[in-house]
Amino acid sequence: MSLSKSPSMQRANQQMSRIDLGDDTSTVDNKLLALPYGIEVPIDTALNMDCVDLYQSMQMEQHDYVSPGSFSPGAAYLPYRRYLVDWMSDVGEQCNLHNTTVHCSILFLDKIFRSNHIPREKWQLLATACISVAAKYEEAEEHCPPIPDLLALTKLRDVGHTSLSFRNEGELEVLRYLGWRLRAIPALHVIGYYLSKGAIFVNDTWEDRPLIEKIPKYVRKYAEFFSNLTLQEYSFQAYLPTHLAAAILLASRVALHLCPRWRPELVALTGYEESDIIDCFNKVWSYYEEQFPGHGSRSISPRSVSQHDAQQQVTSHAQQFTRDCPTSHFNHHS
């Protein structure tokens, strides 16, 4: 199905057309929509731009890295993918990179590894290069890790790599594989848009009570947690990032017992009805319960899973990847 004919894009385009044309019906509908909760200054006002244009751009370009058409469940690297993801996440944390940068670097790696036969002895080099290229594209220049520091951190320096060899055999190789197209759209980018526009509303309730000031922060924590969790499992790349992000937003509201769990304002925001995303939501929720048994059946603070338990998982898988990967130089950094 072409993007222009997808249900979510059709709804978003129809909504924007009505607003732009000043349709009387749209004006009545807009009066019925509740105001976002916890947003003091609308993001459009803060940035002095219409951010819906940004969302439509993400919808159009998200296919470059993730789409049902490029989904490759038989790719040879997948048995090791989760360990690679956790290792790269650990490196990104050590380099103080934004979480979105790490997510983009992993989309870089997935695009390269699912479409090419990459010898295992090059996995560490290309994974590190994906992190470096993503940082240069996503981060401010002063936040990019210096190459000598990155080589020391990942132990690539110990096996003879220099800044020059890393650039030629690592970064330039990644750029060639990616065709120099570096705008990756992970679900976490889309979640940031949804939350900035407002994904909680003044007449929502929390466990049948009025909202409290901390709820927006908890929704953000849950959304980031679910984004990190689904990044570990390649099967979620069968869904478009906007689709997965909407399902993650639904999961975050369900986890906090917000009512209603989906609403017309969220359809207007995301372009998805609940029925469009229910299968993806069920998969997200099942994976959540599988990884953290018992958590899905009760309302909790996301800190109890997203900080201690999740970090233990990352460390465990990074260490296991070090043990299992059949390359002598893939040593876990300190």
pLDDT digits 0-9 by tens, 207-260:
889 999 999 999 999 999 999 999 999 999 999 999 999 999 999 999 999 999
Identify the CA nearest to 87 among candidates 130, 118, 134, 146. 130
Q: Under CATH, which number does the domain 34-64+186-301 receive?
A: 1.10.472.10
CATH 3.40.50.2300 fits 79-184, yes or no: no
Helix, coil or strand: residue 206: strand
The per-residue pLDDT for 295 is 72
Selected residue with higher pLDDT from 294 and 273: 273
Mean pLDDT for 193-213 is 93
DSSP labels, 137-160:
HHS-GGGSPPHHHHHHHTTGGGGT
Examine residue 36 and say whether the peptide bond preceding it is cis (omega within 30 degrees of 0): no
* Dist CA 78 CA 195 (whole Å): 31
**Mean residue pLDDT across the chain:** 83
Q: Is the pTM of this model over 0.85?
A: no
Domain limits, CATH 1.10.472.10, in the chain: 34-64+186-301, 79-184
**Contact between 107 and 84 (Cβ < 8 Å):** no
